[in-house]
Structure 1
Amino acid sequence: MEHPIFELKNISYEYKDKMETTQALKDINLKVHKGDFVALVGPNGSGKTTLIKLILGVLKLQTGEIYINGKSLRHFQAWQEVGYVSQKSNSFAKGFPATVSEVILSGLTKSKGLFNRFKKADYDKLDEVLALLNIVELKNKNISQLSGGQTQRVFIARALINRPSILVLDEPTVGIDAKHVKEFYDVLLRLKEQAVTILLVTHDIGVVVDHANEVACLNEHLHFHGSNHEFKNLGEAELSKIYGFPLQLVSHDHERSCCE
């Protein structure tokens, strides 16, 4: 039987300082299977980014276990299988003196090491991800010259150049206009068709539920995990209880938006 790509068991996490303890996550159990596109949603401060940092090993586990491809996170080494795009990608790119090709190729350093020369096979991978994300014409442009949507595609290409089977994205559409958000989700759907497993953290539940096939709704606890169809059918009272304030999903122009 095939292992889940991600399996989280009884995950809890607290932030502590001298004055107080803040519970960020409590008793989270979650499975993500191969080829799934899972949207992790919830209000600000609900623990979404904390959970991603735990999955990626940025934060140390306090309680519970995380498995990636059946391997305990405590012993997991195959990070080249996991691509990651941060919500800070766009701000990082502003004024950065590097071409698109250089930024994307830098994604190979975790598998090649920092000072090894790039070979023909590496440039073949570069051409492959440029074509996949429809950014071939940007190849020699400076990263700081690109629009927000173009920049995000470049950082997805950087995450994909190692040909990972998993892509984790943390609020990747922050600061991107509506046109480029649509292009961004089109790219993710193409990746899903290639059996890439996607875990996407977002606050934009109105758009994402029409693209992800599963939704996990987090607010300290995991309040919901199911299909996008099941999530769309949640009532206003249920959504408001999860989010802690009045909330409803409204359909318009064949898309859905989130409204308080």
Structure 2
Amino acid sequence: MDHPIFELKNISYTYRDKMETTPALKDINLSIHKGDFVALVGPNGSGKTTLIKLILGVLKLQSGEIYINGNSLRNFQAWQEVGYVSQKSNSFSKGFPATVSEVVLSGLTKAKGLFKRFRKEDYRKLEEVLDLLNISHLKDKNISLLSGGQTQRVFIARALINNPSILVLDEPTVGIDAKHVKEFYDVLFRLKEQSVTILLVTHDIGVVVDHADEVACLNEHLHFHGTNHEFKNLGEAELSKIYGFPLQLVSHDHERACCE
């Protein structure tokens, strides 16, 4: 049976402290299939990062079920199948005394164990992912000397060195200039061609609808999940209702973009 890569059923989550409760997600149902490139969009505070943390097991489920490759998240063990790049990775390099190769190889630590030596096969994998991301020429360079776009590619390489079938990225282009954002999406397109399933959290609607296969729009509830073409054809009134404030669709470089 061909299971979805991710299947979320009736997911709700509420943050609680002594004084108040804050609902973050309400009754989310979402399926993502092998090889899909899905962009998860929504306003700040809409629950996007909370949903990613639930999928990755960082937050404990309060209600509902999550399945990865047909396996319940509660029993899922094969985390080497899931690569993750956080929104903070492009600031990781500040003053960190490690080369690009060392950072990428550290992605094998969870599978190998902390004190295991790297083998010839590990270095072969290193060369493959550096080549895939066009950063082989940087392998001996200190990561603190890289640009934001280069650093982000290093962390994608780190996430890919275990040959995961799934890549989850949380706001990965924050702080990266326009030129390197384009290079970043070019990299994701090459990964999609290799049947890597991509779940990308982003606020950058105008760019992502031209790259993702599908868009899921979240604001506590899942208000929309469909193709990028269907998302582009949503009316401004409908988008503004989802986001909770006015949005205007404008033309940019002869393409239709959505800007706050």
Q: Same fold (TM over 0.5)?
A: yes
State the match for 1:249 in structure 2: 249
Structure 1 ranges of 4+ moved more than 6 A: none
C-alpha displacement of 1:110: 1.2
**Aligned counterparts of 1:7 and 1:27: Cα–Cα separation in 2:** 13
C-alpha displacement of 1:255: 4.2
RMSD: 0.7
Contact 1:232 1:249 in 2 (8 A): no
For 1:1-260, list aligned pairs within 5 A: 1-260=1-260
**Aligned counterparts of 2:207 and 2:147: Cα–Cα separation in 1:** 21
**Aligned counterparts of 1:241 and 1:258: Cα–Cα separation in 2:** 14
Contact 1:104 1:126 in 2 (8 A): yes
Contact 2:205 2:259 in 1 (8 A): no
**Aligned counterparts of 2:256 and 2:53: Cα–Cα separation in 1:** 29
TM-score normalised by structure 2 residue count: 0.99
TM-superposition CA deviations, 1:2-25 (whole Å, max 9, x none): 000000000000000111000000
**Aligned counterparts of 1:125 and 1:254: Cα–Cα separation in 2:** 40
C-alpha displacement of 1:256: 4.3
User: Which amino acid letter does the alignment assign opposite residue 96 of structure 2?
Assistant: F
**Aligned counterparts of 1:255 and 1:137: Cα–Cα separation in 2:** 34
**Aligned counterparts of 1:66 and 1:53: Cα–Cα separation in 2:** 12
C-alpha displacement of 1:252: 1.5
C-alpha displacement of 1:197: 0.1
User: Which amino acid letter does the alignment assign opposite residue 253 of structure 1?
Assistant: D
**Aligned counterparts of 1:6 and 1:248: Cα–Cα separation in 2:** 32
C-alpha displacement of 1:94: 1.1
TM-superposition CA deviations, 1:171-230 (whole Å, max 9, x none): 000000000000000000000000000000000001000000000000000000000000
**Aligned counterparts of 1:185 and 1:165: Cα–Cα separation in 2:** 18
Q: Which runs of 5+ in 2 are unaligned?
A: none
TM-score normalised by structure 1 residue count: 0.99
**Aligned counterparts of 1:251 and 1:96: Cα–Cα separation in 2:** 41
Contact 1:41 1:216 in 2 (8 A): yes
Contact 1:7 1:30 in 2 (8 A): yes
**Aligned counterparts of 2:37 and 2:254: Cα–Cα separation in 1:** 20
Contact 2:13 2:63 in 1 (8 A): yes
SS in 2 for 1:11: strand
Q: How many residues align?
A: 260
Going from structure 1 to structure 2, the CA distance change for 1:165 and 1:88 (only over 3 Å counts) comes to same
Contact 1:166 1:198 in 2 (8 A): yes
Going from structure 1 to structure 2, the CA distance change for 1:255 and 1:134 (only over 3 Å counts) comes to farther
**Aligned counterparts of 1:118 and 1:249: Cα–Cα separation in 2:** 51
SS in 1 for 2:181: helix
**Aligned counterparts of 1:104 and 1:255: Cα–Cα separation in 2:** 36
